[in-house]
A and B are shown apart, each in its own frame.
Chain A
Amino acid sequence: MTGAKEAHTEPKRDITLRVHRFNPQVDGKPYFDDYTIQVEKGITVLRALNYIKEHVDASVSFRAFCQAGICGSCGMRINGISKLACTTQVWDELDRCKEPGVIRIEPLRNMPLIKDLIVDMDPLVDKMKHYSNWVVSSMPESRMGKKEFLVSEEEFQKYDKATDCILCASCVSECTILRAHKEYVSPAILLKSYRMNVDSRDSIHDARLGELVKDHGVWDCTHCYRCQETCVKHIPIMDAIHGIREDALEVRGVKDSSGAKHAEAFMSDIEKKGKLVEATLPIRTNGMAWTLQNLLPMAMKMIMKRRTPPPPPLVKPAKGIKKFREMFREMTEHVRAEKKSHKK
């Protein structure tokens, strides 16, 4: 039984945590401190950090609270990847070290740094507010508490996974769009927005959606899937993002925003030629005036470097386009039929 196995002591070894340090009162810029400690197998990164704080250097600063993977406080980058320190085993990280035995511990990205491993969460809260990440009940306050809503298992399934989100901000830290644009809505907020929008008890679906399709909203995502890959709760965040987009196309139409137009242009190119007509894509997405104003300098550079995409007449349909069109039609019909049956 396990009892006999447990009587052996766990293996131990020396490891080094290379910890990002920054105290805004004295440090001009961040640096790293190395802490070498002996740990036994089964110890989490958070327990190793706690040990360092209690026994080696009390000034190392990080957030931690529940230590059980549910409060989301201890999000940090461990060997370059954003995750929770409390659910990450030191032993597992040893295989991922660039320098053998040295685990890099850094703060989450894409949020303002406060100290050492602590970043400012306020921008995320502000975005929760901006995108109305709450249910506005269809029931007036005066009638509340008397009757429950009836919710089908099917509807519950739509938001069940999304409500697993603990706002640890790992996805925010990994998001490639946020690195370029701090104003971008961010994956966690899209997930929460989706969760609200599929809830039949909510009454501001259209207004919330209207905000999501604006600049820096749902159409800015480039489907890199980093958020989903790193989600500590394994939530299919991209399903939520696609869900909002499909919803937007259906409710607001294909001409609604540049994002929708972009998707539409994509679809039509694929249907006609089996590949993209890149030269006119920006015009069809954002219009002629915008393209001339914003992309002309880049177009010039591309010409200089001979990197321009071929003009539309030269984009020949891909090989086997006939067969492809058949498949394309079949898929589109299938998706439409599925949507109809969902609505019932």
Chain B
Amino acid sequence: MKPFDIVIVGGGGAGLYAAMEAMKTNPALNIAVLSKVYPNRSHTSAAQGGANAALANKAKDDTVELHIFDTIKGSDYLADQDAVDILCSEAPKIIRELDNIGTPWSRLEDNTIAQRPFGGAGRPRCCYCADKTGHTILQTLYEQCLKKGVFFFNEYFALQLSLHDSRMKGLIAMNMKTGKIEAFPARTVLFATGGYAKMYWNRSSNAAGNTGDGQAIAYRAGIPLKDMEFVQFHPTGLRKSGLLVTEGARGEGGYLINALGERFMSRYAPEKMELGPRDLVSRSIETEILQGRGFDSPAGKYVHLDLTHLGADLIKSRLPQIREMSMYFEGVDPIDEPIPVRPTAHYSMGGIDTDNYGRTVMDGVYAAGECACVSVHGANRLGGNSLLDILVFGRIAGHTAAEEAGKFEPSPITADEIAATEARLRSYMQPSGHFERYGILREELGQTLGQNVGIYREASKIRKGVADLRELQERFTHVRVNDTSDVFNTNLMQVLELKNMLDLAETVAAGALAREESRGSHTRTDFPQRDDEKWHKHTIATIEGDRVKLGEKPVTMGRYELQERTY
């Protein structure tokens, strides 16, 4: 097979923007996008709220500088300030570009792109399309990629990087439709596979496939991961399913109410109330529940998100999806009744360590989006900054890969290597000893992470989590794939996804145990203060044997000095 100049793994917002930009940079390049789902199914579609950009359409005094400050403060000063600079400066340009190619943004009265308030932001700067922003952005990007003739390999499951003495030769993937293992020799590989928060399983808002495939592949190839302990819990997941109720619901004026009928956020963020940053609101809800002021139900304890005072018209026009989801999954119409919610694992701030151009430490390997950690979100991401991140850094990484592809000489991936991979996958169908069920392991993984490495963490609990993960890894060697067919073997795919989650979960737990402080989404009850002296730095996780080895990396500072973070 002719080697590709760029193989992009993942067809969400970051992957598609990267493909589009790479083709624009050099139309002569041979570019492939691999995705385990049809690109329009990617999890970008689930982003409801919007994307931040200081367009100053709504608040005329908004500036890029204010956006930068909000992002750095929101990150609890763990974001790299030069990266945040790029994110926020590029934001207005990228939102306009999306408008120029057909994204159906909602509009203000003067016909400009609409903006609304979002948590942790000093001005209403979140650009949106009703509550389907991510969906419409993804559709637009997919349409434009089809227009440009991007070469898609849909329903291909990425397995591993092919390496020769730590030099990258390309990617090996499974064609789901045929079950065949295929080689993609490539000058560059760009990972854009999304986040890993699905490892919390039933306590996660993520799609079933957000299993950190790209991060796990990179990690096993020796590429470092950064800040993996930072997992954001979104304050308002639906009680039964963990599915998400957008922050837009609070942006539009929704209240959080406990079982005593109090708007309890007045205790935690008297000024911003429900629009405090996510980590703070999540902790507040968790505290209310732990102190016995939550509602009780067989599906767990929860609080109310009350929209009833907003009126039927506003709910129907601005939050139609939320209304539909509340009715489908909770049997509650938010026009008449409050929605039962509780925090749910939502976003992974950590990911593949990249520089500001999307490069990893390995030549020819790039990463962007939730899969990467530049880092612009630090210890806590602001609402409306994740769509922005995938767009801005998807584009930058696509551009970098296109510029640099010529630097790397391709070399073939041997038939032996393919055969070895095939044999490894086949071995899952005949494990030795007793058999384990992957569904049970997956549930236990989510449980131990939720209990021991969840919103509130402490050393003894995390150690329990680490031990549980070791045990799960051992039991995983006995998991049996019962479906032995080649065609569309979703059983095999889910088992491989479980392995990716298990490997990454160990890096999350290791980071959480090491970081003896509380910062952003990472809250240690045994170290309740932020400790800038010891811990104002990134953690770096690399693989050594089959264990996590932790290192560190300094935070890039800039105009903003460390401050206490209050709202």
Instruction: Name A residues whose Cβ lies closer than 8 Å to a Cβ of B.
Output: 1-3, 6-7, 9-10, 23-26, 42, 44, 53-55, 57-59, 61-73, 87, 89, 114-116, 118, 120-122, 125, 128-129, 132-137, 139, 141, 144-153, 156, 159-160, 163-164, 166-167, 196, 199, 201-202
Contacts and interface: CB of A to CB of B under 8 A. Distances in A.
Interface string B27-48: 0000000000110111101100
A121 B488 CA distance: 14
B300 to A, nearest CB: 10
A56 to B, nearest CB: 10
Contact of A55 (B45, B297, B439): B439
Contacts of A149: 99-100
B485 A202 contact: no
A2 B483 contact: no
A73 B96 CA distance: 30
Contact of A69 (B112, B328, B486): B328
Contact of B207 (A58, A67, A144): A67
B306 to A, nearest CB: 12
B100 A115 contact: no
Interface stretch (B118-126, B143-151, B377-385): B143-151
Interface size class of B (residues with CB under 8 A): 35 or more
Given A3-B295, A65-B207, A148 B43 contact: no
A286 to B, nearest CB: 34
Given A1-B295, A3-B259, A159-B104, 17 more contacts: A2-B337, A2-B338, A24-B487, A25-B486, A59-B483, A65-B209, A67-B243, A68-B207, A68-B325, A70-B46, A71-B46, A73-B38, A87-B328, A133-B143, A150-B112, A160-B104, A163-B132
Contacts of A128: 143, 146
A65 B41 contact: yes
Contacts of A133: 143, 146
Contacts of B482: 57-59
B296 A3 contact: yes
Given A42-B331, A61-B490, A133-B146, A71 B101 contact: no
B483 A61 contact: yes
B92 to A, nearest CB: 8
19 contacts: A2-B337, A6-B298, A24-B487, A53-B439, A54-B439, A59-B485, A64-B208, A65-B37, A66-B207, A67-B243, A68-B46, A71-B43, A122-B154, A133-B143, A133-B146, A134-B144, A148-B100, A156-B104, A201-B102
B360 interface: no
Given A141-B24, A144-B97, A134 B146 contact: yes
Interface in B4-30: 24
A145 B331 contact: no
Contacts of B488: 61, 114-116, 118
- Residue among B45, B102, B240 having the largest count of chain A Cβ atoms under 10 Å: B102
Contacts of B244: 68
B491 interface: yes
B177 interface: yes
A148 B207 CA distance: 32
B555 interface: no
B112 A201 contact: no
Given A66-B46, A71-B46, A156-B104, A59 B491 contact: yes
Closest 8 CB pairs of A and B: A54-B439, A135-B102, A134-B143, A6-B297, A59-B483, A58-B482, A3-B295, A150-B111
B94 interface: yes
A152 B111 contact: yes
Given A25-B485, A149-B100, A55 B437 contact: yes
B461 interface: no
B45 A152 contact: no
Given A2-B337, A148-B99, A163-B104, A66 B485 contact: no
Contacts of A23: 485, 487
Contacts of A118: 488
B101 A135 contact: yes
A70 B206 CA distance: 12
A148 to B, nearest CB: 5
Interface string B83-97: 000000000011111
B295 A70 contact: no
Given A54-B437, A144-B96, A151 B46 contact: no
Interface string B484-522: 011111110000000000000000000000000000000
B102 A134 contact: yes
A133 B135 CA distance: 16
A75 B340 CA distance: 27
